[in-house]
Structure 1
């Protein structure tokens, strides 16, 4: 972060830190993103009468304020002010505070690449950042020593276990419990919508199976008067606690379980469920004829339900599954064709018919007569692949024409023209009848591998960005340390008596203390840089290991090549590279990768 240079400014007795930062930003014409601050000191003030002004606490009164018995009293109002030092922001620690809506709990949230260094200087930096964030959020400074010691112990524990902290509870209001109203949740629907990132269609049922929670009623919490983490005394004024409305259901299908916190409704059977007019309604009919949006509901979230759907077309002129349907089950068997914009999801799917170009199939395993749409899954078998798209671990195809395939392994009986075949391990061709086909050997042909590679690349880019920021900060402190080094050398070369006399002078003592602080800071920054470098080294090794998966790749052609076809060996690591090979009409050869030269070779 390239922060503009300016002389740090101390502002005393701030009631609102964010306003002071905004004022400084406007006055200095420096964007607030480039500003940071330390809390140098804070003052605690209370008033016991609305007519009186706030009075600072000190001595024994301040010691009493640290105790919960004093803090929870309702006979005073509370305010804290801060002395802050604003300076250029050179580093983003990627730490956030998360305060609950009524300020009864405070959490510390960590960036995924946060590195723990078991060093007192490192911990002091983290504590300082948290103090600043607390001041920004107007969280009361109290019991800070305990807070810091608990956090230090937690971070050391994470480091010892080699674990990455994500979110830690930092503070809890000692006595205050906020009121929480009741809530009814249709869990099956909520889970589906969260997974898909969209609202479920209105005419939807959701798949379930025995012992799966369908819905739950979260009981209300009346709450308790008390002082929250911002120092405000909250009085709960709830006269009538809401109660759960009556819910109708078949006791042969539903089991009701109650705890002090909630009531859970669990399924006793397999089926599709909806909740309508305060009633849980089951559907256990799994055989359909010509399903359409006008005569059937959407059947969602049933992939783990153990349910098998059987769907037939009513005649040869009708689709078995009409346009815009969404069907999800453990198994789906379709006798007939599938209309446009249909999405099918299951562990196993069989279609004795044709899919539309806009059909999407998601499954562990699928068998289709004629496929023109999209398949996303593990294992795919198709008789006629006509301009369709496949993304799988392996696929078996009788006839392929104008198709696009991404897989580890591809097996094709009859290869026609204009296919784009991406694979990482093997492509077997029984008979080649067409040309203008493109074969791409790439570790990224397998979607799971590609996603891992993309994740690693993003992680490396982020780590390099953080390293750049830390390196800038490191250089800044090197410059500061060099500036003070002549004075430090004089102190070190002097005898003991002269050293004591020199350090008695305020300016020299200040310079000496700054130098020591800078050296400690450089030590922490260096350890951070080494940590990031080691992480990047490990990630690069992982990329090379993934890239090496293609070294055994091959194309097995059991007939002569027809017309002209293109083979590309694509490598992403250690640097992007494409090797291109053109196969001429009549050649009778296989293609494999030479693992030593990392090049394609023709074999007979």
Structure 2
């Protein structure tokens, strides 16, 4: 800049040549500085060792003798070769960037001049030359080889080459405490935080990583390409564990960390300063205000007991979601609440919009929806029940779908649909509908539809194959005599070394292909016919049990109650309304001598 000002010219118009490079080193003492000593080229090669370069008292600098000249007076072969020098944050890695659109042509002494170009760029950036240059030769050689082969090169995209590499320091590790069990907040479909899911219970499984303490670790010193020593910072220690654990949590310690893992399933709790894994929890209520949603999981082995008994309050609040292994609720389940568990016991009542999902369910008063395997309800008040085995003490309206249904006292407006068995002990009301439907379960209905679709496809395929088989059988029958005669001629030609006519050979091969095709479609016909028979039998099996299915009323029949049986094949629905006062107790479906089906009173 000073020279440019002196000669009243712009810096961009000036360039320089490197005439001489002098490198000086010294190793200071703790209480004083040593004298600088010039290092020879051989001594510079010995500086590669980490012992010297990572000595914090070692220093290195360079001085350059240069010749400055005006660019206008010299032809520059790199005038269109736009390169810059950059480095990473520590300046331990230095890169040469070749800009997109750069042009360069090969000329004698290209490799030397290109190396000189890089060294000048490094000097401008304050980077030492000939010290950290182990990677430089590879970069120069790569560019030189391309230019030598192609002679004229245009860079169609930016390219970056590593041209110097110092000793990168290893960062210092500060201690940290990672709480793994504290899972992220749940989000809704719009990726907004669901504040109802606040993680009141953090369920864990055996061998799950709960907490991890990362120990502090000293970093390793480095030296960058400017020759500067990089001293690592002292690690900060702020997060040492202040808690302990009991025998439900194991500690695994190594030189890097301490890991705390669960020994068993359950939920993690902090009792004072002691972390522990528990299975049983008693709480007053589940609500947005107190707990938020509880999502421990049905396989978590977390057992929840909700103690709120007040009939005017909800033990499980409005819109709450609870998912645990087992749950005992002393009170009510509120509107739009969803309870999911392996076992659920509800002593209060369920709101009409509440949903209970569990393998085993017991409910006092049910108005909502219950989905499970074994379901027992004291009083059904227009609720919905879906299960395998359902027992109801008193039904006052509602919909029941199960394999087996037992109702002790049945009032009015009950729709009960079973695949095997419905029993009413006392019938007090009317407008009830009791239905036997083998396809009551969604999976069975879907399986039948799929089965029937496949049967239709097989019937079409078998029919077409049969027509094709008859066609090819006829062709073979008509051509067998001529084929045998042709075969004799070919054997004769071959035996006597006579060249076989091409037309004979082609005709012979065609006949063989016809026979092979007939064999193939015959096998296909047999496979598809057998499968058609199997699927047809399977369709019939969907309603096998309907002839053993029973609707039983142990009481006298009241007026306006309907019995329905749904057949699979043929797909018909039979209906029967027992007369008021009738003592017929057991009803089933019977095939008459005419092949028709009727609902009749049968023996138990």
**TM-score of the pair, normalised by structure 2:** 0.52
Residue-by-residue CA offset, 1:509-551 (whole Å, 9 max, x unaligned): 3343244234323323332332233234334334434422232
Residue-by-residue CA offset, 1:368-400 (whole Å, 9 max, x unaligned): 121111111122111221111111222221221
Residue-by-residue CA offset, 1:407-450 (whole Å, 9 max, x unaligned): 222222221222111123332223222211111122234x3xx5
Residue 570 (1) aligns with residue 566 (2): yes
| Range that drifts further, 528-537 or 326-335 | 528-537
Distance 1:474 1:586, change over 3 A: closer
Residue-by-residue CA offset, 1:544-601 (whole Å, 9 max, x unaligned): 344222323323323222221111111113x212221112322222132266646422
Cα distance in 2 between the residues matched to 1:323 and 1:528:
61
Residues 274-423 of structure 1: pairs in structure 2 closer than 5 A: 286-300=281-295, 302-313=297-308, 315-423=310-418
**1:74 maps to what in 2?**
none
Cα distance in 2 between the residues matched to 1:391 and 1:189:
33
Classify the secondary structure of the residue corresponding to 1:296: coil
Contact 1:205–1:272 at 8 Å: present in 2 too? no
**1:523 maps to what in 2?**
519
Tell me how far 1:603 sits from its aligned partner. 5.5
Residue-by-residue CA offset, 1:344-370 (whole Å, 9 max, x unaligned): 222221111121222221222211121
Cα distance in 1 between the residues matched to 2:518 and 2:557:
64
Distance 1:491 1:255, change over 3 A: farther
Higher alpha-carbon Rg: 2
Residue-by-residue CA offset, 1:314-352 (whole Å, 9 max, x unaligned): 744321111232222221111221122222222221111
Cα distance in 2 between the residues matched to 1:351 and 1:589:
37
Residue-by-residue CA offset, 1:146-201 (whole Å, 9 max, x unaligned): xxxxxxxxxxxxxxxxxxxxxxxxxxxxxxxxxxxxxxxx99999x99xxxxx998
| The one of 268, 271, 274 aligned to 2:263 | 268
Distance 1:427 1:522, change over 3 A: same
Contact 1:298–1:326 at 8 Å: present in 2 too? yes
Classify the secondary structure of the residue corresponding to 2:577: strand
Contact 2:546–2:589 at 8 Å: present in 1 too? no
Residue 538 (1) aligns with residue 534 (2): yes
Cα distance in 2 between the residues matched to 1:516 and 1:599:
58
Distance 1:429 1:400, change over 3 A: same
Contact 2:588–2:602 at 8 Å: present in 1 too? no
Residue 458 (1) aligns with residue 450 (2): yes
Residue 557 (1) aligns with residue 553 (2): yes
Contact 1:208–1:267 at 8 Å: present in 2 too? no
Classify the secondary structure of the residue corresponding to 1:310: strand
Residue-by-residue CA offset, 1:484-507 (whole Å, 9 max, x unaligned): 876664232347236766993434
Cα distance in 1 between the residues matched to 2:483 and 2:523:
28
Classify the secondary structure of the residue corresponding to 2:393: strand
**2:483 maps to what in 1?**
491
Classify the secondary structure of the residue corresponding to 1:572: coil
Residues 29-44 of structure 1: pairs in structure 2 closer than 5 A: none
Cα distance in 1 between the residues matched to 2:512 and 2:276:
72
Distance 1:295 1:208, change over 3 A: closer
Cα distance in 1 between the residues matched to 2:581 and 2:285:
48
Classify the secondary structure of the residue corresponding to 1:523: helix
The count of corresponding residues between Structure 1 and Structure 2 is 373
Classify the secondary structure of the residue corresponding to 1:530: helix
| The one of 572, 576, 584 aligned to 1:581 | 576
Classify the secondary structure of the residue corresponding to 2:332: coil
Cα distance in 2 between the residues matched to 1:473 and 1:215:
64
Residue-by-residue CA offset, 1:241-279 (whole Å, 9 max, x unaligned): xxxxx9x99875556899xxxxx99631332479xxxxx
Q: Which runs of 5+ in 1 are unaligned?
A: 1-185, 194-198, 218-245, 259-263, 275-279
Classify the secondary structure of the residue corresponding to 2:564: strand
Contact 1:488–1:512 at 8 Å: present in 2 too? no
**Higher helix residue share:** 1
Contact 2:279–2:303 at 8 Å: present in 1 too? no
Distance 1:329 1:427, change over 3 A: same
Residue-by-residue CA offset, 1:124-154 (whole Å, 9 max, x unaligned): xxxxxxxxxxxxxxxxxxxxxxxxxxxxxxx
Residue 509 (1) aligns with residue 501 (2): no
**2:599 maps to what in 1?**
600
Tell me how far 1:210 sits from its aligned partner. 5.7
Distance 1:425 1:475, change over 3 A: closer
Tell me how far 1:214 sits from its aligned partner. 6.9
Contact 1:481–1:518 at 8 Å: present in 2 too? no
Contact 1:463–1:532 at 8 Å: present in 2 too? no
Contact 2:287–2:293 at 8 Å: present in 1 too? no
Distance 1:414 1:315, change over 3 A: closer
Higher relative contact order (CA 8 A, sep 6+): 1
Distance 1:188 1:410, change over 3 A: farther
Cα distance in 1 between the residues matched to 2:491 and 2:211:
73
**1:437 maps to what in 2?**
432
Distance 1:478 1:561, change over 3 A: closer
Residue-by-residue CA offset, 1:198-251 (whole Å, 9 max, x unaligned): x9986457875663657999xxxxxxxxxxxxxxxxxxxxxxxxxxxx9x9987
Cα distance in 2 between the residues matched to 1:413 and 1:489:
81
Contact 1:569–1:578 at 8 Å: present in 2 too? yes
**1:79 maps to what in 2?**
none
Cα distance in 1 between the residues matched to 2:181 and 2:491:
72
